[in-house]
Amino acid sequence: MKTFYKKFLEKFIEGLLMLSSTITTLTVVLIVFFLFKEGIGVFNKKPIEEGYVIAINKNNIVTKISSEQIKNIYDQKIKNWKEIGGKPDSIILFRLEDISNYYSDAAIGENFEGLPNCLSRLIDSVPNIIAFFPEKYLDKNFKGRQLEIDKVTLSEFFGGKEWFPTAQPAAQLGVMPLILGTLWVSLGAILLALPLGLAASVYMSEIASDKVRRIMKPLIELLAGIPSVVYGFFGLVIIVPLIQKTFNLPVGETALAGSIILGIMALPTIITISEDAMRNTPRAMKEASLALGASKWQTIYKVVIPYSISGITAGAILGIGRAIGETMAVLMVTGNAAVIPHSILEPVRTIPATIAAELGEAPNGGLHFQALFALGCILFLITLVINLTVEFISNRNKYNKH
């Protein structure tokens, strides 16, 4: 009877563990599915604000126009239809608030009942006009022609150099500055944190005395619990002015400041996990290496590090993940400028900082909202590629050692 209950209990616990792992796996899969479902939706929308139209005269030979061209037209960088494949005529810009320059209040109507007819007549009478107005004021017998706007394309999204999702009349969704900003800051943090973290973990596990280790390890683990906003304040007060003074820059909020702060934030994770992995190296292996005539440093390099490479890799991945996904500290010290950086001493804007700063003001389900989810997809893929690369390198080194 006892054997039956024991087997039943074991099966029950196995079932609970399997259920727990299944739920966890499904949750992760569903989160990733939801992220990509929302993010991919941005490519099914036009960059023009929902509920608005861009109209031109029916005799205008221009049929298609890109969001960048629309922005340049309304910024008056493009002033002639010839520049976008039309006739050599100057472009006349029109927004809804300009209607009073063409028609009286009586013609428009007290409740704007005459506005659709006024807009139709105006666009029909001005050959080189381009008008941006709400779709609800589009007359049933509209005499102009709505301009065809292409949906957001992959090339525009990934290759665009401007991120201005709230721009009117056409949003600019170029993520190139955000991707480059994220890579600048993250790679700088990785280059800073990995060597220092590995050196510190080697010292604590193989060189430091027990007394020093008992003091240092709790202090390092304590750093991991400090809120990111505190690191941001530290960077803003100490690191940013130091960089500005050292390099004689107009502002100190740069990619370098973000890299230093993220490197410091990633250190506790890398050191703690790597040190634990090195401490688990069997004593017999180290003693055998020393007995064969290897020095202490040769033993560390040839025995300890190769044996604990999986733990070091795990620490590196977790540290890198924190560096890439960090939000608040980066938002505070990098300048938050969505421009393509040419050096690490320029202000940048990262993907996590952009999502954190803009998600609260993006209308649910709108173009801006889905563009931010697409940024989340990019961040996920960047992290995945880096993790797989680190895993591949560590596995290759491990097999080469054997």
- Using CA atoms, how far apart are residues 182 and 61, in angstroms rounded to an integer? 42
31 φ/ψ sector (left φ>0, alpha ψ -120 to 50, else beta): alpha
User: DSSP of 152-167, one letter per residue?
Assistant: P-HHHHHH-S-EETT-
pTM for the model stands at 0.85
In the prediction, which pLDDT does 40 show?
A: 93
Maximum C-alpha span of the chain: 102
Is the CATH number 1.10.10.10 carried by domain 176-401?
A: no
Residue ranges of domains in the chain = 2-44, 52-150, 176-401
Distance of CA 64 to CAs 55, 59, 120, 298, Å? 11, 14, 20, 68
In the prediction, which pLDDT does 373 show?
A: 95
Query: Which amino acid is located at 302 in the chain?
Result: K
Q: Across-strand partners of 163?
A: 173
8-12: long-range contacts, CB 8 A cutoff, minimum separation 24? none
What topology is assigned to 52-150 in CATH?
D-Maltodextrin-Binding Protein; domain 2 (3.40.190)
In the prediction, which pLDDT does 102 show?
A: 93
In the prediction, which pLDDT does 365 show?
A: 86
210-223 and 255-279 helices, crossing angle to 10°: 140
User: DSSP of 318-336, one letter per residue?
Assistant: HHHHHHHH--HHHHHHSB-
pLDDT in tens, 199-248: 999 999 989 888 898 889 888 888 888 888 899 999 999 999 999 999 99
CA triple 309-310-315, angle to 5 deg: 95
Choose among 277, 228, 384: nearest CA to 320.
384
Per-residue confidence in pLDDT tens, the chain, 402 aa: 667 787 888 888 999 999 999 999 999 999 999 999 999 999 998 898 888 999 999 999 998 888 889 989 999 999 999 999 899 999 999 999 999 999 999 999 988 999 999 999 999 999 999 999 999 999 989 999 998 888 888 988 999 999 999 888 899 999 999 999 998 998 899 899 999 999 999 999 989 888 898 889 888 888 888 888 899 999 999 999 999 999 999 999 999 999 999 999 999 989 998 998 898 889 899 889 988 888 888 999 889 988 888 888 888 888 877 778 888 889 999 998 999 988 899 999 999 999 999 998 888 888 999 999 999 999 999 888 877 877 776 666 555 555
